[in-house]
Chain A
């Protein structure tokens, strides 16, 4: 029981402590990969940029981040296909995972990179550059 309580407390506390570190670690790492200064403005611009997408059988033609998140993603988004509610992109946003445990956004490097990779491919048909990813993170920080 004590073990479970410690575990619960750790799960509850670590994301809050880790989040700022994860974002800073990512920004530093992108710079090390050759990115310049990051701009929330550039991130915002790319966020709403609409990319023409054509493929037989697809339900939508044009794609942007806002297709599933929102144009101003400080409120929950909705997956265009599955309808699944997507937590806001704000730093304070949490989602409830399958086990009923709260999970904070940007709490692990693995997840941040996993979704950058998937969603850049879905939206732009390519992976994002370190510069673009940094700009996005600055945009989220500014929300």
Chain B
């Protein structure tokens, strides 16, 4: 209780900018929920971008995090300590796209047909549709991007769970919102 009061006091006396910052983080459910778990960011981010749980539904994470699946994780060995595996699985399931009320997570979840278990984020219909304009010159043949799996190559605010058009900066091309695509 004392803590809450202190926080309220701090908010009252702090500048407008600070208050804005707090409110925009607290009440911004536009993108996907950011991931702040250290174990997650370390374990998964060691090899690839630590994709947010809200980018795939529960069933996908449940399958991806099976012991056998991790042994052959898209051709790589990605086994984890059992303790870590369970903790990460729970974290992913609790924050999965179909349990989130962030706008883009809900769109992701709605775009996947019932009974389908996708293992790749790039196969989510909503995400596929959104990336249609991303032709080879921007991605595959762009040495600084190479593949759609490197989300953070262009989505510069991805750590905050923000994917808005004006945050997309394609290496060697520039801001997506300012590009005249031919």
Q: Give me the interface of A with B, judged by CB distance under 8 Å.
A: 57-58, 79, 81-84, 97-99, 110, 114, 117-119, 121-122
Q: Let me know if B146 is at the binding interface, CB within 8 A.
A: yes
Given contacts A97-B42, A98-B42, contact A82 B48 (CB under 8 A): yes
Among A84, A99, A110, A119, contact of B77 (Cβ-Cβ < 8 Å): A119
Q: How far is the CA of A130 from the CA of B11 in the complex (A)?
A: 57
How many residue pairs, one in A and one in B, have C-beta atoms under 8 Å apart?
A: 31
Do B41 and A81 touch (CB < 8 A)? no
Q: Which residues 21-40 of B sit at the A interface, judged by CB distance below 8 A?
A: none
CB distance from A58 to the nearest CB of B (A): 6
Q: Let me know if B45 is at the binding interface, CB within 8 A.
A: yes
A-B contact pairs, 19 of them (CB 8 A): A58-B75, A81-B75, A81-B76, A82-B47, A84-B47, A84-B48, A97-B42, A97-B45, A98-B41, A98-B42, A98-B45, A110-B81, A114-B81, A117-B77, A117-B79, A118-B77, A118-B78, A118-B79, A121-B71
Do B47 and A121 touch (CB < 8 A)? no
A97-B45, A98-B41, A121-B77 known; 10 other A-B pairs, CB under 8 Å? A58-B75, A79-B47, A81-B76, A82-B47, A83-B146, A97-B42, A110-B81, A114-B80, A117-B79, A122-B77
Q: How far is the CA of A81 from the CA of B73 in the complex (A)?
A: 12
Chain B interface, number of residues (Cβ within 8 angstroms): 15
Q: Give me the interface of B with A, judged by CB distance under 8 Å.
A: 41-42, 45, 47-48, 50, 71, 75-81, 146
Q: How far is the CA of A85 from the CA of B38 in the complex (A)?
A: 21
List residues of chain B with CB within 8 A of the CB of A97: 42, 45
Q: Which residue of B lies closest to A121 (CB)?
A: B77
Q: How far is the CA of A110 from the CA of B78 in the complex (A)?
A: 14
CB distance from B80 to the nearest CB of A (A): 8
List residues of chain B with CB within 8 A of the CB of A58: 75
Instruction: Pick from B45, B50, B76, B81 the residue with the most CB of A within 10 Å.
Output: B76
CB distance from B169 to the nearest CB of A (A): 19
List residues of chain A with CB within 8 A of the CB of B81: 110, 114
List residues of chain A with CB within 8 A of the CB of B47: 79, 82, 84
List residues of chain A with CB within 8 A of the CB of B80: 114
Q: Which residue of B lies closest to A60 (CB)?
A: B75
List residues of chain A with CB within 8 A of the CB of B45: 97-98
Do A98 and B50 touch (CB < 8 A)? yes
Do A122 and B76 touch (CB < 8 A)? yes
Q: How far is the CA of A98 from the CA of B41 in the complex (A)?
A: 8
Q: How far is the CA of A84 from the CA of B80 in the complex (A)?
A: 20
Q: Which residue of B lies closest to A79 (CB)?
A: B47
CB distance from A100 to the nearest CB of B (A): 12
